[in-house]
Amino acid sequence: MYETTSVHPLKDGSAVRIREATPKDLVDIWRIFRSVTEEKKWIPVLFVDDGEFERLSWFSHHKSVGSVILVAEIEKKVVGHCLVERDEWDAAAHVGNLGIMVNVEHRGRGVGSAMIKEAIIRAREKGFEKICLSTFNTNLSAIRLYKKHNFQIIGVRRRQFKMEEEYKDEVLMELILDN
């Protein structure tokens, strides 16, 4: 068994705790999801389904399929979350699809980096052999973060999304989890 909480140093000398999410975190996870959606810049979501039923169904689905759901806490406040979602195709159950978000006021401190590092460790422990993700071509901090953790760009789907009447290319990245 791995430790359920790990502590990572941040750039300013403070620390972030990364741990597995519990149902009690769902309100915070949704709060961050809603606020990132409202920024209308980073994720291809225009409307967030909210409500206790939606939140609990999402959580129990991911627990039952063995996804990794992490939260980042600073001074006991949830400031970010990261999901490595087990791929839904039977023959791709060894693949995880990663999503990550950090509250706007805590970005650039190293929280994202700590969550990715921990997500990779825990994904390996859960038997994932590969992690895939995609991001907008305009999301330079995300691309930098993923490259720093050895994700490689493997393709681009041009004009895949349209946000606020502006096209976004979708940059596809992957990390093979060799031992």
| Site residues, ligand COA (CB under 6 A) | 36, 42-43, 100-102, 107-113, 135, 139-142, 144-145, 148
Amino acid type, 169 = D
- Which residue, judged by CB position, is nearest to ligand COA in the bound state? 112
Smallest gap from residue 4 Cβ to ligand COA (A):
21
Q: Which is nearer to ligand COA, 38 or 90 (CB)?
A: 38
Alpha carbon distance 1, 72 (integer Å): 20
Helix and strand numbers (H, E) in the chain are: 4, 8
Alpha carbon distance 95, 85 (integer Å): 8
Smallest gap from residue 64 Cβ to ligand COA (A):
25
Separation in Å, CA 83 to CA 66, 137, 151: 11, 21, 16
Q: Which is nearer to ligand COA, 105 or 178 (CB)?
A: 105
Q: Name the residue among 62, 76, 44 with its Cα closest to residue 36.
A: 44
Q: Which is nearer to ligand COA, 108 or 127 (CB)?
A: 108
Smallest gap from residue 152 Cβ to ligand COA (A):
15
Smallest gap from residue 25 Cβ to ligand COA (A):
16
Q: Which is nearer to ligand COA, 34 or 148 (CB)?
A: 148
Q: Name the residue among 26, 31, 91, 102 with its Cα closest to residue 62.
A: 26
